[in-house]
Chain A
């Protein structure tokens, strides 16, 4: 089979996903087009250079609807013969875009792809595209639907993580992210967002709170306690699914969960001939990809079985992996991953994660692959694994090998 290589990976800085966030004035279309242009310009992708743009995006309504991928291609400087495909696998959409692209390259369907994603969470509200699993009683009741925050708290309860465990992970994420930015570790990947006149709008992640400590987090109220215990009472539903639990321990809050932000990212993937034709040097080989469906109620434990699957599929073991990116959707997701594989935190999210810098849903999967690649190169390590938990009970993973 043909190998699929990563030739480039870049991202926008992440803006606060609120009315006063720096990227709030930027449209999903404009941000997507800027990122695509950056890929084109850095790699000289003139003409029909890539087969397709696969663009991950979760909330595909309004300005993010109508196959944003195609609109973004047309709004960018890319050749109009490049079509554009919007995809949605919730939080792993950006990763699924990369994996789809890689697997098509491996299968011989096209020489190269741009894969990535965007999410302007401050402009297009999460959940505004509806969701039958949450709203349609015939499925919501049968699948014991609870919102993600409750699921994260179920993980904490089931696997014994305390509020302090979660807060400590959050503090460390902030510390690592601040140190990484200070050390300019993201310089290779982050592309400033500019206005129509070329003036910079945002040049660095703005969601971080570097001074965060246990004390400041300690003052935050658990975010999902009320909806769990009182209105409408999701805990009762959770206990029906897990009758060995007496109650749900609500440990998550805004400070130890991923941030709501705006952002976009892209990865340029191609085979050997593509690189040779464009005079590009491959940076990493995409060694394996995987996805899996899991229990939809606890929902966010996917990184564990999908990692087991990707290791089994590729004949590797956990000790073969030098570095991990496990999306910090909620602290308990990462805690559970480290517990399940007995992996030291020193190898996981070494430059911080979504708790500190934010989680632009459709883009994050591509972001963490880029972050992983940058760190493998910086530290001289060989193999990295990126994985995300996914809404409705799924998991996705990618293993890359630095060249």
Chain B
């Protein structure tokens, strides 16, 4: 395998070209790194070479690091993985530093300029290598993404990207790229100072620059260099650094180790010379890679998310790509499904009972595109093309030729059944019928269908265009082709699928409802609502349970409660919660939409504070529980439901349980998901906590048999149910 090739052009410029075989996108492996190093040595030692251009033979430069590298580094030092990582990272630093020094002596004499020429996207290590070069040229490719997204998966740029970017642009200016993983197109990247030049032919431009005999010493390798914006104890830098800790702490609630380690690498690095700063960066990067939270985040948000998107659980079936989708019901969900389908280039027939309603549903796409045009993310042409794909009508006959139907009509089994029959009368034999129901069992709904093997659930989350998860639900009779169809469709609209079996509330809602209920239960018990909300946010939930109720509205909660109570009869366990729900409903405190809920809102609907009316109704106990107790109640309420879903076979793959939890309802992303979290705390401790919580708060915390068994055997979910175990 050859990832990099070296050639010497007639003009004396050496070209190191990156082209990983059998991959559409370059990723850096340990072998590749060694090749790059060898080519660098050869080119730098060759007196005939005037300079070096590092580029890619593919449309993009590189997508990042091959994550196996981390595993290999860990393994390389036997029982001392931290040593393996640190040494491996230092080796990487040495190679990138070789690029940066370009063969100069310690007086900055001699050497050769090295330029990077990026044809397209350059992410992660794909930008860290260019940052080590003396000048970065990028093609004028508006689709190219340039940036350091590492923080999004729980790590930070650890191949010198952190140290170099801070020295290049200052801590303040670098922070959106390092702390938020902000990506830019080449023009914006140049404006920000992330790269140096945008050119039609970046290789030619890079060559021209090299042949101009440029001065190429990096500012930080020259005497008297000062960090832009000031080092930490410079008066201006002081304020930046004091503010950075506070901002990161407040925003991340202190639960993301990568953000903390990144800041420490930046701070400590800024106080020492460049090479020492790289060493400091390597120590903190090693620290992050050794952190279980980072490992879990990489696993769920990168490796497993991608595996699911690429069809890890797709049954064998021919390509089921959707050409024409029929969307029934032009409400908020129908309009959103129409939008994301049309954006993916799929023809859409949007049907509602009234033409006016159907038109309104289509207008949602027009509005979305207008906003995009305003923000320069879209064009009038793109808008026209997208809208031309959508037919808004009341005529079922228009569904002819559809290969997928997604029904998003009112959540009433009778209405859904009528629609199913009407649709099946006009669609072709091969067409797959999907329901976007969030509460009704698919198997029941499929009874209205004359071909239940072609009937499936495709459950979107609201707002459709923002929420990345799609939950695919298999009814008892749902066939493989329907599942493949749903997965191929989700791939087309670039979302992440999970496939679950049919059961009440499927997977996501099944887990989030107990979270909300636990919050309301605590209100009833007299736990301070402030403590409940803060505890939730401090454990990494995006919204406290009470705010979540306000956003989703209490009448929805009341409706679900009434239906569940009717279905379960005496076994219904949530009477305590219902008392709160029904009181709120009776008071007209339905949530944000009525400008009153657990929170108060001003006339414009802006959230003020937790309501005194609610606090008066449920007086706060003198003795308040400690923070961890509240957090464990909120977390265990969710994760135990996930374990039960696995136990009952609703969930077939814990990867889906973890990815689905984070993308579906924002479950503490730092944990990697419910199963990763349980693995992190360990089954024995989890079982013990279940017993304590059940004793103190009720049987809903009773330890599931599966967890009890795993505690006894000392097992972890990923060892027992992970992909390796499944393959075995």
Contacts and interface: CB of A to CB of B under 8 A. Distances in A.
B242 A144 contact: no
A245 B246 contact: no
Interface stretch (A64-72, A202-210, A228-236, A324-332): A228-236
B243 A239 contact: no
B250 A243 contact: no
A52 B247 CA distance: 45
Contacts of A237: 246, 249-250
Contacts of B243: 231-232
B624 A233 contact: no
**Most chain B beta-carbon contacts within 10 A, residue among A128, A137, A244:** A137
Nearest to A239: B534
B249 A245 contact: no
B244 A137 contact: yes
Contact of B263 (A127, A141, A247): A141
B246 A234 contact: yes
B264 A138 contact: yes
A232 B245 CA distance: 9
Interface in A91-138: 127-128, 130, 134-138
A240 interface: yes
A338 interface: no
Nearest to B243: A232
A189 B399 CA distance: 96
A90 interface: no
**Contact-size category for A:** 20 to 34
Interface in B230-287: 232-233, 235, 238, 241-251, 253-254, 260, 263-264, 266-268
Contact of A130 (B238, B264, B528, B531): B238
A246 interface: yes
Nearest to B241: A135
A137 B270 CA distance: 13
Contacts of A231: 243
Contacts of A135: 232-233, 238, 241-242, 245, 267
B69 interface: no
Nearest to A134: B242
A140 interface: yes
Contacts of A138: 260, 264, 267
Nearest to B260: A141
Contacts of A247: 609
B538 interface: yes
Interface in B512-548: 528, 530-531, 534-535, 538
A243 B527 CA distance: 12
Given A244-B624, A246-B609, A247-B609, A137 B248 contact: yes
B244 A232 contact: yes
Interface string A197-222: 00000000000000000000000000
**Most chain B beta-carbon contacts within 10 A, residue among A141, A239, A240, A245:** A141
Given A136-B267, A240-B538, A246 B260 contact: no
B610 interface: yes
A233 B250 contact: yes
A30 B534 CA distance: 53
Interface string A243-286: 11111000000000000000000000000000000000000000
B672 to A, nearest CB: 21
A337 interface: no
B45 interface: no
Contacts of B264: 136-138
B250 A236 contact: yes
Contacts of A140: 242, 245-246, 249
A137 to B, nearest CB: 4
Nearest to B609: A246
A186 interface: no
A173 to B, nearest CB: 30
A145 to B, nearest CB: 7
A246 B267 contact: no
A136 to B, nearest CB: 6
Given A127-B238, A137-B267, A141-B260, A240 B254 contact: yes
Contact of B627 (A130, A137, A243, A246): A243
A10 to B, nearest CB: 35
Nearest to A231: B243
Contacts of B531: 243-244
B544 to A, nearest CB: 11
A135 B171 CA distance: 13
A141 B528 CA distance: 26
Contacts of B238: 127, 130, 134-135
A164 to B, nearest CB: 21
Contacts of A239: 534
Nearest to A139: B245
A144 B535 CA distance: 16
A232 B239 CA distance: 10
Contacts of A240: 249-250, 253-254, 534, 538
26 contacts: A128-B235, A130-B238, A135-B241, A136-B232, A136-B267, A136-B268, A137-B241, A137-B245, A138-B267, A141-B245, A141-B248, A141-B249, A141-B254, A145-B242, A145-B245, A231-B243, A232-B247, A233-B247, A236-B246, A237-B246, A237-B249, A240-B250, A240-B534, A243-B530, A244-B534, A245-B530
Interface of A: 127-128, 130, 134-138, 140-141, 144-147, 231-237, 239-240, 243-247
